[in-house]
Structure 1
């Protein structure tokens, strides 16, 4: 029986498929991220979030989130804030915040930024709805200019005598004007019992808090959740606090609630929180609605 010729790579009744494996296949290391910022950015893009979305979720300014992704630590406000921002970023993209924090701490140490502290600054809210529009800003500026101009016109007319602002005072009112006004009662002295009571910080929402003494010794540092509380040691040497959301901290001294540590969404730092200092503070006046 004559032998039939078959094409190369083919056997009678079967076809042999040859697959060549290239030598340029990507290695496992090429799939690994070199920095924590690259890992966070990749996960954010995988979930389809923009930096503006992350800023609204974490309440961290968008420029700081971008600096973390680029590992531009010199543009961030210190290592402590950087670690806190990274943990918030990791939770927003459903990564392990503890592992991200540990990896970033090692990265900060390798780059020489561990313990770095930038000058304190106020962080504005990242919610675009809270930022006034350009039209509103220009309108407010125009109203301010008109108000100032009207004041100077009124004052110039008053000084040159064209407007008489004097009015006759009835005799009955003169007798009332001559009577001396009663003296204001002296402000009440601080409650001595409260001055000896403990100072307790209670969080009503998620907030990062750091407490330290006059020698810059850290007494407490944590991202507090709603319901968490911390009692300041009574023997602490001039305890002070730094936090970015003082309005969500309820402060009591000896069971007595004291005024808020600062205005909403404004960072406070180097604020003494001993019992004597808190009771001596003047309550901040809230603007009328």
Structure 2
């Protein structure tokens, strides 16, 4: 290898000074701070200091260090390849990979931030909670069950849910068939049993359902949460100002004084402002015996 000195802008490379001294002198000549160069090149400050002081034992593997030296030389206006070649001649660090590999520092912007990772976890949790709430009926519609006026002749003026009439059954031998119109007339003429005017009102969950029981007017909750299958809520006897709201009307059973009230609605139907009093429940539907 030739011992002839290579010169760049008056700076001798391959001379008596080691490459760290050459870089340091060039930096001081330009009036640059080492910390500023570390920020611009994204090379750790401790590595640039070790390069200038010739402390090669503290530097990372040679391919990475060569990348640091080239970045440093390029910032100072020196030829990166010539500078790196002198560093190779001076260093005692083992060259364990192909010397031509040039490992430039990785830019910080390529690494996902911790904030982005946390945001992804939070969004995933929101999606899971939304799916669970939908399954419990929290986001059901507010439609009320279809009702019809009580038949003429009824005393209590209650409304009843409209049911699809059952399919006609084959008549048994020896039993006279009754025309459908006559059967409907006879059913209408039969008075429905009255809802008890007293007794405990109990709400029982047959399936998991979200339920809110709150005061009339103020809307203040006295109970709110998911009732699991088998859970019961007994309305206090001295409270005549409570309303019920649920996202799964068909999952609840209501009784007044031990008498069962027909379902408040379909399985996944949302109902609200249901009065938890004997008179209020009687106004919604005819009772049925348990």
TM bucket normalised to smaller: 0.3 to 0.5
Greater helix fraction, Structure 1 or Structure 2: 1
TM-score by length of 2: 0.41
Q: Which is bigger in relative contact order (C-alpha 8 A, separation at least 6)?
A: 2
